[in-house]
Structure 1
Amino acid sequence: MDFKLPIGDWADAAVMFLLDHAQWLFDGIDLVVGAVADGVQSALTSLPGVALAAIVVLIGLWRNGWRFALFAAAALFVVAGLGMWHQTVDTLALVLTATAIALTIGVPLGIVAARNDRVETVVRPALDLMQTMPAFVYLIPAAMLFGLGRVPGIIATIIFAMPPVVRLTSLGIRQVPHELVEAGLAFGCTPRQLLFKVQMPTALPSIMAGINQTIMLSLSMVVIASMIGAGGVGNEVLRGIQRLDIGLGVEGGLAVVILAILLDRITQSFGTPDAGGRSPRSALRSLLTRRRADPPKDNAHLSPTHGVTEAG
């Protein structure tokens, strides 16, 4: 077969059309995303390195116990010893910015998709496309529409990392047991109360799994986005590739791995039952069900003579 579909030409024409007629929109997006990224990075870099490390260790202690806190302290010490502290903080700022924007869009979209089958039908193929498209492909239109730098890297990261939170939010809400929804309606819940007091708490483990996956994908993508000037540890990895410097590449990769482990373990902990051992579902059931009277006491506490007397 010697024919060729001009899909690439159509994509070029679409991008050029957007550049000619919607540049004001991309300038506004660039301004908003840049402001959020600057705010997150300023908040992180304004803290002394020791204070930021202490915050991470304390969060690890709170969520995962003292063993993980010791690991976090040792891991951050290794990052500082590699000379990658500032680059790692920049990467963390990029990941937090991209994740925050992705969740702001993805969680509401997942809720709508869970409550509307038509939206789910439209969203599902779009998510399939976003997840299966090679990550490097996102860099081309992002660079053309927003130029080089941090903002196009964040935009590409948002598109690449958002599908898991949309899918798992929708899946978690759809899998809420029907009896819990009926109980909420029986107690007079409005649709808003039903969502935030019944469905969201019950679906929290699934939603947190989606958030965790979004964070991990964001971390992998911001490293790739260094090719268009996103900065962070990705610059060190890219420099190692360009120079064929194995040591620099290993050091940058190790810093990424450490950051990934810390973020993964901390975010996973928020989807598990709390310290009291009660899952969101059991806590919800205790709130929605009426308090029953204490069950009748059995006869185990009665004296042996009581039973003999009755029998007599």
Structure 2
Amino acid sequence: MDGFRIPVGQWAATAVDWIRDNLHGLLTAISTILSWLVDSLTDALLNTPIVGVIVVAALLGWVVRSWKFAIGTVVSFALILAMGQWVTAMQTLALVLVATIIAILIAVPVGIWAARSDRVSAIVKPVLDLMQTMPGLVYLIPAIVFFSIGVVPGLVATVIFALPPGVRLTELGIRNVDAETVEAGHAFGATPGQILRGVQLPLAMPTIMTGVNQVIMLALSMAVIAGMAGADGLGKEVVQAMSTVNIAKGAEAGLAVVFLAVYLDRLTAALGDLRGQSSSLLNLLARRRALAASAPRPVDAAAEETERRLQPTV
């Protein structure tokens, strides 16, 4: 077997070179759009008063989860500010949010398609296996070749790495919808699109939101790798701390990543189970409306007497 070798790596390099040389215009357009999205969101977060960002984040936590979570959000964001990591945290948050939105826009339609076609599912699953098991650093190599150093290769690598759970859990959620419920929709004459929008997606939403949660967590886990590609944010801080063996900087950047991860994890988990959040502001208002609707109305004696007199006598 000496000398026997399949040049898979060379084939991959040739494919990357071909894409770079022949799709330069498309790659430039993608780079421009992605860079603009991240930069715009970063500018929006940084130009908003810090107190405003913290208040909005805390209100979101209270609305969908609880007042305790809102207080924890204020404390954790205040700690990020106190550690001097506010700017880098907002840069990482912008990168994660853009990557998550792009991943969801791809994952949900692909997951629905795979749930409705066994053939598509059979094709998609090995691709997802490859995307999940391939080391994240490997994605950076072609991404840097295509888009050079900066935020875009880190964003592309993050999307690829975080995408699979969204597809898998969307497919799982759609497939686990009760078949009798779907058949009832068909019996009432609903079209496949109406059944998808009115039956399957609402019933599968908790599972889909679990997928969104996993996408966010994986995107945050790629923050350091994005920093290696030159993306600004907490990942870049960690990379610099590693290169200079700066324990203080590494600990602060790492804790800031943890605080962001906990906030986004709890927030998306609550969005997937809004009815189960008994302490949320939404459920509190819903209970008050229900109590108001069920309370007995005051009896107007004069109106009752007038109505009695107007009734015909037998």
Task: Indicate the TM-score class for this superposition, using the shorter chain for normalisation.
Answer: 0.7 to 0.9
Q: How far apart are 1:161 and its partner, in Å?
A: 0.4
Q: How far apart are 1:223 and its partner, in Å?
A: 2.2
Query: Could you tell me whether the CA contact under 8 Å between 1:154 and 1:222 is conserved in 2?
Result: no
2:173 corresponds in structure 1 to 172
2:246 corresponds in structure 1 to 245
Matched, 1:92 2:100: no
Q: 1:217 corresponds to which letter in structure 2? A: L
2:309 corresponds in structure 1 to none
Could you say what secondary structure the match of 2:232 adopts?
coil
Query: Could you tell me whether the CA contact under 8 Å between 1:37 and 1:97 is conserved in 2?
Result: yes
2:303 corresponds in structure 1 to none
Aligned residues: 277
Q: 1:76 corresponds to which letter in structure 2? A: F
Matched, 1:151 2:152: yes
| Residues 274 and 36 of structure 1, relative CA distance in 2, 3 Å threshold | same
Query: Could you tell me whether the CA contact under 8 Å between 1:165 and 1:214 is conserved in 2?
Result: yes
How many Å separate the matches in 2 of 1:276 and 1:145?
45
2:73 corresponds in structure 1 to 72
1:16 corresponds in structure 2 to 17
Q: How far apart are 1:230 and its partner, in Å?
A: 1.0
How many Å separate the matches in 2 of 1:66 and 1:228?
38
Q: Which is bigger in relative contact order (C-alpha 8 A, separation at least 6)?
A: 2
1:40 corresponds in structure 2 to 41
Q: How far apart are 1:50 and its partner, in Å?
A: 0.6
How many Å separate the matches in 1 of 2:37 and 2:106?
15
Alignment RMSD (CA, Å):
1.3
1:50 corresponds in structure 2 to 51
1:160 corresponds in structure 2 to 161
Q: Identify which range, 268-277 or 76-85, moves more after superposition.
A: 268-277
Deviations 1:166-188 (A, max 9, x none): 01001100110011101211222
Q: How far apart are 1:24 and its partner, in Å?
A: 1.4
Q: 1:12 corresponds to which letter in structure 2? A: A
Q: Identify which range, 230-239 or 184-193, moves more after superposition.
A: 184-193
Q: Percent identity?
A: 49
2:28 corresponds in structure 1 to 27
How many Å separate the matches in 1 of 2:44 and 2:76?
22
Q: How far apart are 1:33 and its partner, in Å?
A: 1.4
1:195 corresponds in structure 2 to 196
* Pairing of 1:67-146 with structure 2 (within 5 A): 67-146=68-147
1:229 corresponds in structure 2 to 230
Deviations 1:132-160 (A, max 9, x none): 00011111110001111011110111111
Query: Could you tell me whether the CA contact under 8 Å between 1:110 and 1:168 is conserved in 2?
Result: yes
How many Å separate the matches in 2 of 1:15 and 1:275?
48
Unaligned ranges ≥5, structure 2: 279-314
How many Å separate the matches in 2 of 1:276 and 1:71?
16
Matched, 1:264 2:270: no
Q: How far apart are 1:42 and its partner, in Å?
A: 2.6
How many Å separate the matches in 1 of 2:60 and 2:74?
11
Could you say what secondary structure the match of 1:5 adopts?
coil
1:291 corresponds in structure 2 to none
How many Å separate the matches in 2 of 1:94 and 1:103?
14
The alignment's TM-score, normalised by the length of structure 1, stands at: 0.86
The alignment's TM-score, normalised by the length of structure 2, stands at: 0.86
Q: How far apart are 1:235 and its partner, in Å?
A: 1.2
Query: Could you tell me whether the CA contact under 8 Å between 2:54 and 2:74 is conserved in 1?
Result: yes
How many Å separate the matches in 2 of 1:202 and 1:192?
15
Q: How far apart are 1:29 and its partner, in Å?
A: 1.2
1:204 corresponds in structure 2 to 205
